Chain A
Amino acid sequence: MQRAQPPRGLYLHVPFCRSLCPYCDFVVIAGAAAFGPRSRMGGYVSAVEREIDLRASASVAAFGALGGVRDDVQRAPLETLYLGGGTPSLLPAEQLASLISRVRDRFGLASGAEVTLECNPGADERGDFTAAVQAGVTRFSIGAQSMDVAALRELGRRHGPDDVAESIAAARAAGATSVSIDLLADLPGVTLESWAGSLDAALALQPDHISVYALTLAAGGADEGEGSVDDRLATPAGALAWRRRAAAEQDEERGAQELELLNTRLPAAGFNWYEISNWAREGHTSRHNRLYWERASVEAVGPGAHAFDGATRRWNSANLDAWEGALMSGELPPGGAAAPISDRDAVAEGLVLSLRMSSGVDREAVVAAGFAEALDWGEANGLLLPHPEDAARVQLTMRGRLLSNELFSRIV
């Protein structure tokens, strides 16, 4: 059951940002390295091209050439490519085009593949939407975070609500198939009213897809993660201080009400809930993210990127120098891999991921896998209900979505 599979998607991490946001735990390099005469973008692009080559060769060695069949598994081209960051929209247009075509050459990109580019909305960071679409991007994920001026300032963002509107308009004009925006809930200093206002303003822009994440401010920042290998960067002291202060201004009750509001506003605006943090209009779910939730094989390149081949989770070093240095001398970058997990743990992991989605899980299958107790507990506490369209399945209730960790921590 835990068998390595050829990748169905590829994640490409672009670590550069114009400036660092204090709440962000992703692998990000900001300032002079990201922009201007001392930019490291050029070196990065050369290195990531090499990594694409090396990972593709390894893939061919493991699973055979594209189109071939090995062990009854057909080697198919990628269904999705996701350029995440960081701020991938900082990539100059020609380099973006060259990276996408490199991926197409080495891994293959299926016809109709989803190619997502994450963008920041600021005028100096959103990039050229038309060039991006010409390079092959089909979907833009725009990091709006909020439509509230004060909240954006508090978050240290460079953009305002107008920039979000301009970005969406530009993406549409460029012919994007799908436009998504990210919003953050439970921000310090907001009220339920300002949240509702921000949400309505976002809906007025008519995106195809909305992701809403509750701001999580772990005391130790990203350093609380697993792995002795440097698959994440230390959180700067200033950011930690910001988080301590911001965490004090968060409110569990208000945060819960903000998320509950989504349940009424979004369906009314034509969005379907399909994953704990995600809503989409018909036909606009994120295919790449679904691969993660379906526990499918996804390759990954770039510093700090995480991959899964269906059996093993591995990651690259987050250290740009170490990552780039290895690649430039022709080697795979340093990194780490999670210890193999038992079949039971793999099932548990799959269960937790499936339960995140509206499709939920098959009740009998869960019972057969030995997780009846967690299931009963979830039902008894109003976290799970039969799926409205398929009585054999269960899905999270609204309450279940808010309290999903209470259930998941009984499964892992």
Chain B
Amino acid sequence: MTAISLTVNGKVVSGNVEDRTLLVQFLRDHLNLTGTHVGCDTSQCGACVVHVDGRAVKSCTTLVGQVDGASVTTIEGLSHGDELHPMQAAFRDNHGLQCGYCTPGMIMSAVDIVQRHGGKLDEATVRHELEGNICRCTGYHNIVKSVLDAAGRMSTAQAAE
């Protein structure tokens, strides 16, 4: 067992965990933050993507010990209370999901993509950068549309700040 302490969605959490505990297991089973999904469990599908110190990583391929002391943001930590994050709002408005299973990972990856590319995003870049997130329903069309829409909203929001 290892004692760990990290910040999840702005709150310091700590616990004693088995050393083999994956970050996704810690989030879902210890903290009951079940918005982060396990899809393939082989680091291919991206349903488990969360942000670790601002970088979108696959929480099924990370030991919780590796992120001891880090700051983790999950899909639950993205909105401000009832106000959706612009990426979440864009997914809703553009029908960027069908069954919704891949959506938390898609959104976390998409926020990271917009943060890295800012206003320079185009469709080809979004499609390429979503390589590590697999969706079996939508055919990606509305997901890409959502990300591009959100990129506009996020840069407008930033300009307003």
- The answer to whether A and B assemble together is no
Chain A residues proximal to chain B, CB less than 8 Å:
none
Chain B residues proximal to chain A, CB less than 8 Å:
none
